[in-house]
Amino acid sequence: MKLSAVAAGIAGLTGSALAQDSVPVTDAETGITFQAFNSADGVSYGIALPVNASAAGGYDIILQVTAPIEIGWAGIAWGGGMVYNPLSIVWPNGESVVASPRMAYGYYQPEIYEDGTLTLLKGSGANATHFKVTVLAQGFSSWTDFDGNVAHLDGSAQVRFAYAYSRTPVDDPASVESTFSIHDSVGRWVHDLAAARSAEFPKWVAENTLPSPPCGRRVVAREERHPVVPRLRDSGRRAGAAARA
Ligand code: HEM
């Protein structure tokens, strides 16, 4: 009896270890159904994809991050590790929020990721206990990896992502280009992207698109806003932009 209970426990553990870590959640504010991962630290990463998202990449993503207000910044690494894949970093800024596209070229401060844009949608803001960031992420499903090859996020598969967060606020919360300090914690999980796909994706984007700035606070990091010249990249490493265009 005891033994079989232990065996059942082990089987359960094995099952969950092999399974993916995301669950479907519908956000009441936007009406979007995300496939979401809830980290042990109370940060949630919800992802919604177009119905035809595939191993070919090149598709847009809706990302929703919800975090306790004590979190200074939180981020997702779309390629599952810190370096040479696009990162989406979010933080609170008063009652508003900021989403910053980044890429790290080493284990130091990530730079602005010029081939990606994060556009705030409805369902973004901060209150006394939490902040919530809902963004249309463009340029994050294809990128140039360390070897200069184009990598794609397989939207039809279960994919390994990484997260990181810090309790220390970023240095200049109002700026998408703000520097910030190293994470207090990092982790990995497996996200079911096939289950994140929906034919409602275009409707969700249309219904949750904010009016033009200043009200919409469109957060776009492009060359004209960010004069930093990527030091470690060569001109061949821009295929992500082409895939997006
Ligand atoms: C100022 C900013 C940052 C600094 C200084 C920093 C620095 C570091 C360092 C030193 C390591 C340990 C490397 C090792 O010895 O294995 C590391 C690991 C890691 N970092 Fe960061 N990091 C920063 C921002 C970020 C961000 C924004 C993310 C993702 C959103 C991230 C994700 C990770 C992950 C997932 C690891 C585990 C190892 C790996 O996957 O490569 N980091 N970081």
The ranges assigned to domains in the chain are 6-244
Average pLDDT of the segment spanning 105-111: 98
Give nearest CA residue, ligand 1 atom 30: 75
Q: Which atom of ligand 1 is nearest to the CA of 179?
A: 1
pTM: 0.84
CA atoms of 158 and 189, how far apart (whole Å): 10
pLDDT band at 212 (very low <50, low <70, confident <90, very high): confident
pLDDT tens per residue, range 146-178 = 999 999 999 999 999 999 999 999 999 999 999
Average pLDDT of the segment spanning 137-146: 97
CA atoms of 113 and 115, how far apart (whole Å): 6
CA atoms of 16 and 202, how far apart (whole Å): 33
Superfamily of domain 6-244: Cellobiose dehydrogenase, cytochrome domain (2.60.40.1210)
CA atoms of 110 and 130, how far apart (whole Å): 25
Question: Where does residue 150 rank: exposed (0-12), middle (13-18), buried (19+ CB within 10 A)?
Answer: middle
Q: Residue 81 carries which DSSP code?
A: S
Ligand 1 within 6 A of 108 CB?
Answer: yes
Residue 213 confidence (pLDDT): 64
